Amino acid sequence: MNNRDKVLAFLNTLEACSRSLEWTREAPEDFDFERAWATCPRGDWLAWVMAELTERWAERAEPSLAPKWGTLAACVAAECALHHIPAGQWHKDAKDLIDRVKGWALADEQTEIHVNKDATRLYEEVHRVGGRYSDRDYALLAVAYAAWTVGCVHGEITQCVDNAIDAANPDGVDAGMRVQRNKDIADAIRKAVPWSVMEVAIHA
């Protein structure tokens, strides 16, 4: 089995989406796990794999990927959308919340942290008026979901990334903006989460 087929087998085990499988099949035979992680153009795919590695084998004594890494990835994804929140109290509150959660994830040991109330406040602000979401709304939701990954990475991290992407193109009229935001998030995740961490998780 060549390296590319090993990556495909791994993704099939995780029940990855057809588009990610197609992207992998188009790679050369020497396309290994490290190269896949380094060149993946989509932050939502990286976040999804991280969520699966955190939760899929949760019955093990140790999960394949420590949940703090999923939280860290969600934080840097949300940071990509922070500039959509205008200067003022909501921007300050969102940034403060991300900084707290990110600091928790970066700590050597994860102690108890209470963020649910602050995350819910951002979430409720978005739904207070109703109607179509603006880029600000999507950014606030991205921050809220990033904070909620402290309690559960699976699901929340993908919601975070999806909202951070939607903030770049809330009207859905410019696919190019979404593609670029997705790539920016992928780059941010790779910068925050070392390959050495992912390598251990993939081969656990």
Per-residue model confidence as pLDDT tens digits over 19-65: 999 999 999 999 999 999 999 999 999 999 999 998 765 556 555 88
Helix (H) or strand (E) holding 123: helix 116-127
Q: Which of 22-31, 47-56, 134-143, 163-172 has the lowest mean pLDDT?
A: 47-56
User: Who's near 160: CB < 8 A, 6+ residues apart?
Assistant: 47, 74, 77, 78, 142, 145, 146, 149
* b/e per residue 113-132 (b: at least 16 CB within 10 A): bebeebbeebbebbeeeeee
Closest CA to 156 of 68, 32, 71, 45: 71
What integer best gives the mean pLDDT of the chain? 94
**pLDDT per residue as tens digits for the range 54-107:** 876 555 655 588 999 999 999 999 999 999 999 999 999 999 999 999 999 999
pTM: 0.94
Residue spans of the domains in the chain: they are 40-202
| CA–CA separation, 55 and 89 (whole Å) | 35
Residue 7: predicted pLDDT: 97
Q: For residues 97 and 45, what is the distance between their CA atoms, to the nearest angstrom?
A: 25
